[in-house]
Amino acid sequence: MIKNRIGVIGSINTDIVCETDKLPKIGETVMGNKFLISFGGKGANEAVACARLGASTNLLGCVGDDMFSKNAIANLQQEGVHITAVKQLKGKQGGIANITVHNGNNQIVVISGANALVDENYINKYANRIKECSIVGCQFETPIEALVLASDICVKNGIKFVLNPSPIKKYPKKLFNNASYVIVNEVEIQEVEGYNPQKPFEILEKHANKLILTKGKSGAYYHNGQKLVNVPAINVKVLDTTGAGDTFLGSFMVAINNNFSLFDAVTFANICAGLKTTKLGAQTAMPTLNEVKKYVKKNRINLQINF
């Protein structure tokens, strides 16, 4: 194990982003305001979020040999992400996400491409890249069966495992049980066994200090074993929420890996995710450690960042 190395298992995509004041109806064409092609995919996003905060980060995933894939690999290298476990597949296309941004919110269509080939054989081949890490995070833009295997490797080797079940789908209870932390939004929490829509916070008490609920402008919630805790979001002008959840997960892992308390880790993640929303794009808008430290100092937030 390499001290304080973070692992991320997940998708590597290219984001095609259009910003518009009006969403088109079926069959309608509207004029937009801005267009950009940027690098995305939940796995790559989280890895870049970690790397920008100064963390040594292994990314595990698959790409094709098309133009988008080659550019995505070059970008990951430029961001300082370790890509020895990123497998390039001949004759395959990389994943893409078609993103429409409207009034600060987004609508996304994802085409998996090579991401669908991050399977159990792949995990077995690159198991040593997982074992190098002290904490590993994942989401659901790659096959779930492979994530179960990866979570088993983490449990057997004393590695913290962080689960973000997004985009939400049915998943084995074992994956939840293997996780050290599970980060969900208001939709994803509904798939947690025992969730009661009449008492939505009750499930947090059942999984105290493990299950974390993010609620955008309302901040994040978890139960500390004694009471429900709300960690407020920062007050910023939101331009684009694309990648905010990925920034939260990546920065949360960085904080936990630096021995932050759960409250401070969620506070740190809220700040990072909030700063990301002030800019357009996913990875391009993710904050550096220096930007986070400046925000903390300027706003006199009680958070000691000693890394």
Catalytic site residues?
A: 246
- 8 A C-beta contact, residue 221 and residue 213: yes
CA distance linking residue 172 with residue 170, whole number of Å:
7
How far from 110 is each of 10, 12, 35, 125, 209, CA to CA, in Å? 13, 11, 17, 26, 32
Q: How far is CA 146 from CA 26, 155, 175, 202, in A?
A: 37, 14, 10, 30
Q: Rounded to whole angstroms, what are the CA distances from 272 to 74, 204, 285, 291, 304?
A: 24, 23, 10, 9, 15
The amino acid at residue 278 is: T
Sign of the Cα pseudo-torsion (164, 249, 17, 275, in order): positive
